Structure 1
Amino acid sequence: MKYWAILGSLLCVSLGSNALAAKHEPRYMLEKVVELSRHGVRPPTEKEAEEIASGTNRNWPEWVTPLGELTGHGYAASLLKARYEGEYYRKTGLLKSGCGLSKDVYIWSSPVERSKATALAYVDGMFPACNIPIHYSDMDSDYLFHFNKLVPPNSAPDQAKAEIEQILGSNLATARQRMQPEIARLRAAVCIAGKSCPIFDTPWQIKTKDKGGISVTGLESLASIGQVLLLEYSENKPLSEVAFGKAPDAATIGALLSLQTLRYDVGNDRLSAARQGGSVLLNQIRMALELGTGSASSTGRQAIAGPPDVAYLLYVAHDTNIAFIRRLLSFTWQVGEYPRGNIPPSSSLVFERWQDRVTKKRFIRLYFQTQTLDQTRSLTPLDQRHPLLTAEFKKPDCQKTKVGTLCPFDGMIAQMNQAIDYSTVAIAAHPVK
């Protein structure tokens, strides 16, 4: 009798311990992450540098790094962001400590050097001394990130003009007049009073590029100026050089980026441009999120090679790629000192797949994240007291939880399927492996 009493007591203790462990086990489990990041801080490209120098009739600050390439400061800022993310993924249990990660991690970069260098910063920040390989294709076969540079647009200039005017709510001349306060603010920051500054006098016109793409001359040039000012501040250039001494803080830089926002609206954020330029990439993201669920949709998968089944999949590319994806998913944001929809260096879109341990249902948490301008400028180490800026995707069927805003998995996959132009995917049929 005494034996059975002791055994019963031990069983109660054991069962009680298991129940207690289950009670304290987090309800939601992070299963997979797909991240799409912009490259880090760079100098202006050669084209940007020539255009703004001639258009403003003055010499702009010089950069030590070759034009268009990732700077050392940009590498360091990207590394800090990656280190912060790596700590988060280990805390959630998605990634293990140490370097046994070959089956857990895959990194795919745009073939452009600044993207490959940023991917290396992610490796060094997230997986120091682990020698994680970085994968990429040749530029002439990179349909994933540069589809619009390889395939002529499927919309005529007249269609693009109608789409742009619908977005603006007017023609380009009227929109330019409406933006005069923002144009004047930017002019005051970069032009010499009383001297010619012809870049501000260029009419806004829709122009067909050599390969058939669409640009809005005049607006794109002014947007490039704002971009360069953001890069100067982010690089920690002396404030006497940033906007020629007329941008003493992050708030001032943010106020000079309105024309860049408008360029996003009528450029990469146009639905026709996004469907052509972003469908191949969004299809890869969709397939990656479905892997391991046992219920992958079949739409558009025929003859299309998919990504590897890993816990953490990182794509490193350009702001244009993020703009395409966010437009296809009807997602925008405004964070910190940045204007609506801005995509700063090293910022990223993150797709997290979570599972409810109780109901076994799966969810997707989608959010945008970036360092503040001053975090990038000062190379601020990131932690709980100094976190990244984030903006979460939300819609009526999503729910707020302790791990963030979770949206039903099937609904998000259906939304992606509806947004993707599968005729474009078929044209590319580009394997990512």
Structure 2
Amino acid sequence: MAAKLLLLLFLFCMGVYCRNGYKLKQVLILSRHNIRAPLSTNLQRTTDLQWPVWETQVTHLTPKGALLEGYIAHYIAEWLKEEGLISDSCPAKNELHVYANTPQRTKETAKAFVKSAFKNCNVSVHYKDTAKMDPLFHPVVHNGTEEFKEIGVREMKDILDKMNLKDTYKLIDEIIDFKNSDICRTESMCDLVNGKNDIIFELNEEPNVYGPLSISNSIADFFLMSLYEGFPKENIAWGKMTESHHWRLLSNIVREDLNVRFNSSILSKDIADPLVQYMANILLNEETSAPKLTLLFGHDSNLYSVMASLGFKPYNLPNQYELTPIGGKLVFQKWYDEKHKRDLFKVNYVYQTVKQLRHGTPLSSENPPKSVILEIKGCKINKKGFCPWEDFRKILKSSD
């Protein structure tokens, strides 16, 4: 009984109000993949120190990542069952749609989710059969005009100019001894603090920078994934990341990298447009054929650009270093207010804490994932976290 009450407490935080005249009608979850091996294959150029070896192939979902995805999937499925959106039996084909980007880490995250959430059910994970990134999830520049490029580059430069990462660069510099790196020897870039970031902005390519920010982001990614994967402390940053404020400094690199590349007013809308339109077609489909539950598995760039495009207000995620945590999920919800006969909208960020990721403990009523209510500009929420569905519909329609 106690465990049941604790579960209901978590569900309340997720937005459970069915007992007070609110009924959950539809959910769309946009998820980042879970723990993967680091992305970069060229880190040896950043230091003469020897990097730890991962057992999992570069960029691939790790076995622990699949396990953790199963934990959060089970918890979310219990919430959906409690609300009556899905039943204990296997979902019908028209009730559930699961779609993942083409890289191994996104496909395998999706498979780990459905395997845990819908045990012994024949649930298909849809994805394109190609080695290339699915255009729906690929965060690239779509507008090829010179005017758009000029504005996009200027906005990226403005964000770069306002960044203050000196303390973070100093920390990384001290850890890797950058002045003795191959990059220093061959490119004459020997100081991350005073190095120059060059903007890369081309049609059908991801907006990017090359310089201290990109180099430091690759290093930060390696350290963070090592932390989540559970590497011994002496094998993370050669034992030099000893304080929590070190991790907060490091996470600033990841945040600012996403900020520069995907958070300008004009760029985010262009980059996220295919995915936003896809989501809008599902969420605004009034036909009975619209799936009750849609699961989309992509990357931090997808979540970040979608939030920037739709106008999400600033937020904080307790017990996490990142704004788009590994395995984290944007949970878009459509509710029906039976008392006032109207549809309502709500969105939560559901994620596992750093401690839950590192220790790999199963989620339970005593150890639930975190859930934070978010707000979108133009869709003012009430004390319960709801805003009128019509206001959210207008936001999605304005993105056409």
- Taking the TM superposition and a 5 Å limit, the aligned residue runs for 1:33-52 are 33-45=27-39, 48-50=40-42, 52=43
- Taking the TM superposition and a 5 Å limit, the aligned residue runs for 1:163-182 are 163-168=155-160, 170=162, 175=163, 178-182=164-168
Does the 8 Å contact 1:75/1:121 carry over to 2?
yes
Q: 2-side partners of 1:72 and 1:226: how far apart?
A: 21
Does the 8 Å contact 1:123/1:131 carry over to 2?
no
- Deviation, structure 1 residue 226: 1.2
- Deviation, structure 1 residue 106: 1.2
Give the alignment's TM-score, normalised by structure 2.
0.85
Cα deviations by residue, 1:219-260 (Å, 9 ceiling, x for unpaired):
122122112211110011111111111234766423311111
Structure 1 residues 288 and 102, CA, compared in 2 at 3 Å: closer, same or farther?
A: same
Q: 1-side partners of 2:124 and 2:207: how far apart?
A: 36
Structure 1 residue aligned with 2:229: 235
Does the 8 Å contact 1:251/1:337 carry over to 2?
no
- Taking the TM superposition and a 5 Å limit, the aligned residue runs for 1:60-139 are 60-139=51-130
Cα deviations by residue, 1:334-354 (Å, 9 ceiling, x for unpaired):
212434x62121111110100
Secondary structure in 2 matching 1:145: coil
Q: Which amino acid aligns with 1:37?
A: S
Q: 1-side partners of 2:310 and 2:129: how far apart?
A: 28
Does the 8 Å contact 2:37/2:61 carry over to 1?
yes
Secondary structure in 2 matching 1:66: coil
Q: 2-side partners of 1:271 and 1:286: how far apart?
A: 20
Secondary structure in 1 matching 2:344: strand
Structure 1 residues 124 and 251, CA, compared in 2 at 3 Å: closer, same or farther?
A: farther
> Which protein shows a greater Rg?
1
Gaps of 5+ in 2: 1-17
Alignment partner for residue 333 of structure 1, among 315, 329, 333? Answer: 315
Q: 1-side partners of 2:394 and 2:237: how far apart?
A: 45
- Deviation, structure 1 residue 152: 6.0
Q: Which amino acid aligns with 1:146?
A: H
- Deviation, structure 1 residue 208: 3.9
- Deviation, structure 1 residue 127: 0.7
Q: Which amino acid aligns with 2:318?
A: G
Structure 1 residues 89 and 186, CA, compared in 2 at 3 Å: closer, same or farther?
A: same
Structure 1 residue aligned with 2:196: 203
- Deviation, structure 1 residue 25: 4.3
Structure 1 residues 157 and 282, CA, compared in 2 at 3 Å: closer, same or farther?
A: closer
Structure 2 residue aligned with 1:216: 209
Structure 1 residues 213 and 112, CA, compared in 2 at 3 Å: closer, same or farther?
A: closer
Gaps of 5+ in 1: 1-23, 295-307, 423-433
Structure 1 residue aligned with 2:170: 184
Q: Which amino acid aligns with 1:207?
A: I
Q: 2-side partners of 1:316 and 1:30: how far apart?
A: 22
Structure 1 residues 210 and 49, CA, compared in 2 at 3 Å: closer, same or farther?
A: farther
Structure 2 residue aligned with 1:158: 150
Structure 1 residues 252 and 79, CA, compared in 2 at 3 Å: closer, same or farther?
A: farther
Q: 2-side partners of 1:416 and 1:193: how far apart?
A: 46
Alignment partner for residue 397 of structure 2, among 401, 405, 417? Answer: 417
Q: 1-side partners of 2:64 and 2:339: how far apart?
A: 45
The count of aligned residue pairs is 369
Structure 1 residues 242 and 220, CA, compared in 2 at 3 Å: closer, same or farther?
A: same
Structure 2 residue aligned with 1:146: 138
Give the alignment's TM-score, normalised by structure 1.
0.78
RMSD, aligned α-carbons = 2.5
Does the 8 Å contact 2:98/2:294 carry over to 1?
yes
Q: 2-side partners of 1:383 and 1:141: how far apart?
A: 35
Does the 8 Å contact 1:204/1:217 carry over to 2?
yes
Q: 1-side partners of 2:233 and 2:133: how far apart?
A: 41
- Deviation, structure 1 residue 261: 1.1
Structure 2 residue aligned with 1:386: 367
Alignment partner for residue 383 of structure 2, among 397, 400, 405? Answer: 400
1:286 and 2:286 are equivalent in the alignment: no
Structure 1 residues 167 and 60, CA, compared in 2 at 3 Å: closer, same or farther?
A: same
- Deviation, structure 1 residue 273: 2.6
Q: 2-side partners of 1:147 and 1:226: how far apart?
A: 21
Q: 2-side partners of 1:25 and 1:180: how far apart?
A: 51
Q: 2-side partners of 1:211 and 1:99: how far apart?
A: 40
Q: 2-side partners of 1:276 and 1:255: how far apart?
A: 30
Q: Which amino acid aligns with 1:317?
A: G
Q: 1-side partners of 2:121 and 2:150: how far apart?
A: 52
- Deviation, structure 1 residue 267: 0.5
Q: 1-side partners of 2:63 and 2:355: how far apart?
A: 17
Cα deviations by residue, 1:386-415 (Å, 9 ceiling, x for unpaired):
2222222235732122xxx11110101111
- Deviation, structure 1 residue 101: 3.6
